[in-house]
Amino acid sequence: MSKMARPFVPDFCKALAVPLANLVRQIPKISERDLRELPLLTFGSQLQGSNNTQIGKTAMQEVFVAVTEIVKNHIVEPHNLTASLKERKLFLKNNSGRTVVIAMSHDPDLCVQELMESNRPNSKIAIEVKGGTDVSNAHNRAGEAEKSHQKAKKMGFAECWTIISKKGLEPHKLAAESPTTNRWYDIAEVLARKGEDWDDFRQRLAGACGIPVS
């Protein structure tokens, strides 16, 4: 705990004490066992958090497969590439003869970089993938994307894209949650490989890589 935060601890405890006391008073015939089992109230949210993490990982892997299909005719395999790297990175040779690297990572989920002279990276696109589909939590997902994109901008990425479920959402509200996002793509269309969002995503990704659209 920082020195600045320490003086606020008593007030914080007092603020929690009143609602917790009200909670205890509303439990009829409260027993010692009830008190011991109160922490179980938080267990559901822990399980949901783990589930959301798995949904995100699966969505990111599926988007990576879709990206692979877009660039497959231009993939080259560098020497001494381990199997684990092959699962997370794509190396392309573009029309200018330069190497383009598309990598799965974290913050951003996917990144596109073109290697210039002396293998200096030109960071082109940072892509955030949000796999959840519940509308009630969509704005939280957009906010999480914004945090990642802000980091990507500081790292020098020229564009930031967010792939998210757009069903039932208003574009201007999403834009308010993540003003750093340059392009919004519907994850259902990207995974299905059809629709206006998929066509735009495919064309713009190929253009950023410097390859023709397959």
Answer whether residue 30 is part of any domain. Answer: no
Q: From CA 20, how far away is CA 113, in angstroms rounded?
A: 51
Region 171-200: mean pLDDT is 94
Answer whether residue 32 is part of any domain. Answer: no
Answer whether residue 152 is part of any domain. Answer: yes
Q: Regarding predicted confidence, which is higher, 27 or 195?
A: 195
DSSP 6-35: GGGHHHHHHHHHHHHHHHHHTSTT--HHHH
Identity of the amino acid at 196: E
pLDDT surpasses 70 at 85: no
Q: What is the DSSP letter of 120?
A: -
φ/ψ of 113, rounded to 5, equals -135, 140
Answer whether residue 78 is part of any domain. Answer: yes
pLDDT at 132: 82
Q: From CA 91, how far away is CA 189, in angstroms rounded?
A: 25
pLDDT surpasses 60 at 47: no
Query: Which residue has tokens 């999480």?
Result: 144
Total domains in the fold of the chain: 1
pLDDT at 56: 63
Identify the weakest region by mean pLDDT among 41-55, 73-87, 122-136, 140-154: 41-55
- Strand 159-164 relative to strand 121-129, pairing: parallel
Region 184-209: mean pLDDT is 96
Which DSSP helix (H) or strand (E) runs through 91?
strand 89-93
Identify the weakest region by mean pLDDT among 3-17, 37-51, 105-119: 37-51
Answer whether residue 204 is part of any domain. Answer: yes
Answer whether residue 40 is part of any domain. Answer: no
Answer whether residue 148 is part of any domain. Answer: yes
Q: From CA 28, how far away is CA 35, in angstroms rounded?
A: 12
Q: How many residues in total does the chain contain?
A: 214
What's 149's domain CATH number?
A: 3.40.91.10
Burial of 47 (0-12, 13-18, 19+ CB in 10 A): exposed
Closest CA to 87 of 57, 114, 113: 57
Domain that holds residue 71: 55-209
Quote the mean pLDDT of the chain.
86
Answer whether residue 10 is part of any domain. Answer: no
